[in-house]
């Protein structure tokens, strides 16, 4: 069974600084996808970034980038130039890519990110 | 339109009531999901519908009954719930054809069982 581990229950960062959230996963599959989702307090969960396991290049979306280390099964999220609006619970998630016509997400336990002005 | 809508936003019900949660998407997605989320915890998958057919039931108690009337709508019928069922219920949708596609989440229904 796949597992996703986020070892940092809480993190904090000063506005405009950079923070990295950690995620490790365990799978025996070779074709899978990894995601970071953001859930602000009392607001909707939204996708931050997506990484395809077969791509060596790390995904980037504006101020958000990942460090994907496939051999180490590590998938960290770097937030640059942190903004107050980045404060949220961040979930790392895994999805096996093949075999079914739907995705079954395995979530980590989440990291609460606080941004200080 | 990349929106998943859920109604109602809040619901308070007694243990003998029957109520329904509704989810709608118009993105043409053929996979739809129900999750239960407790405070400061990740969402827990309850049900998956793929092409309007129930594909996954994660051993959810029968007091929760899902329904997918068409490709845009997903309902969750509630009956004889317990206080421990109080939670945020999230609906999500995605393209079908493998698990490669990101799921789009609705804002959720916050359910309180008294």
pLDDT at B90 over 60: yes
Residue A70: what pLDDT?
94
pLDDT, tens digit (0-9, with 9 covering 90-100), for B33-81: 999 999 999 999 999 999 999 998 889 999 999 999 999 999 999 999 9
Confidence of residue A79 (pLDDT cuts 50, 70, 90): very high
Please give, one letter per residue, the 3-state secondary structure of A63-93.
Answer: CEEEEEECCCCEEEEEECCCCHHHCEEEEEE
Count of A–B CB contacts within 8 Å?
76
Shortest Cα–Cα distance, B90 to chain A (Å): 9
Check A102 against B31: CB less than 8 A apart. yes
Confidence of residue A42 (pLDDT cuts 50, 70, 90): confident
Backbone torsions φ then ψ of B84, nearest 5 degrees: -70, -10
Q: Does a cis peptide bond (omega within 30 degrees of 0) precede residue A79?
A: no
pLDDT, tens digit (0-9, with 9 covering 90-100), for A46-68: 999 999 999 889 999 999 999 99
Check A46 against B108: CB less than 8 A apart. no
Given CB atoms, is B73 within the 8 Å cutoff of chain A?
A: no
Enter the DSSP assignment of B102: P
Number of other residues whose CB lies within 10 A of the CB of residue B16: 8
Confidence of residue B1 (pLDDT cuts 50, 70, 90): low
Average pLDDT over residues A67-75: 96
Residue A111 tokens read as: 């990291």
String of DSSP letters for B52-114? TEEEEE-S--TTEEEEEEETTEEEEEEES--GGG-EEEEEEEE--SSTTSPPEE---EEEEE-
Number of other residues whose CB lies within 10 A of the CB of residue B59: 6
* Distance of alpha carbon A80 from alpha carbon A84, whole angstroms: 12
Given CB atoms, is A87 within the 8 Å cutoff of chain B?
A: no
Select the more confidently predicted residue: B2 or A40: A40
Residue B98: what pLDDT?
62
Shortest Cα–Cα distance, B88 to chain A (Å): 10
* Distance of alpha carbon B35 from alpha carbon B49, whole angstroms: 12
Q: What angle do CA A54, A33, A109 make, to 5 degrees?
A: 140
pLDDT at A81 over 70: yes
Average pLDDT over residues A15-33: 95
Residue A51: what pLDDT?
95
* Distance of alpha carbon B101 from alpha carbon A113, whole angstroms: 26
Q: What percent of chain B has pLDDT over 90?
A: 81
């Amino acid at each position: 069974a796949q597992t996703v581990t986020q070892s940092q229950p809480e993190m904090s960062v000063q506005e405009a600084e950079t923070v990295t959230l950690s995620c490790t996963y365990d799978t025996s599959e070779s074709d899978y996808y990894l995601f970071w989702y953001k859930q602000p307090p009392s607001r909707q969960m939204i996708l931050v970034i997506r990484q395809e396991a077969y791509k060596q290049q790390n995904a980037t979306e504006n101020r958000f980038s990942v460090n994907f280390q496939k051999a180490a099964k590590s998938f960290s999220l770097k937030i640059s130039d942190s903004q107050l609006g980045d404060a949220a619970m961040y979930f790392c998630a895994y999805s096996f890519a093949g075999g079914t016509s739907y995705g079954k997400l395995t979530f980590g336990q989440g990291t609460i990110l606080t941004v200080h002005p | 339109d990349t929106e998943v809508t859920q109604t109602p936003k809040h619901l308070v019900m007694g243990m003998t009531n029957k109520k329904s949660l509704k989810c709608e998407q118009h993105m043409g997605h053929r996979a739809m999901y129900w999750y239960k989320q407790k405070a400061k915890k990740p969402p827990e998958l309850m049900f998956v519908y793929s092409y309007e057919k129930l594909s996954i039931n994660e051993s959810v108690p029968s007091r929760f009954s899902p329904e997918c009337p068409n490709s845009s709508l997903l309902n969750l019928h509630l009956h004889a719930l317990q206080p421990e069922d109080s939670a945020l219920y999230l609906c999500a949708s995605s393209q079908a054809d493998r698990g490669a596609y990101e799921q789009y989440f609705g804002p959720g229904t916050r359910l309180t069982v008294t």
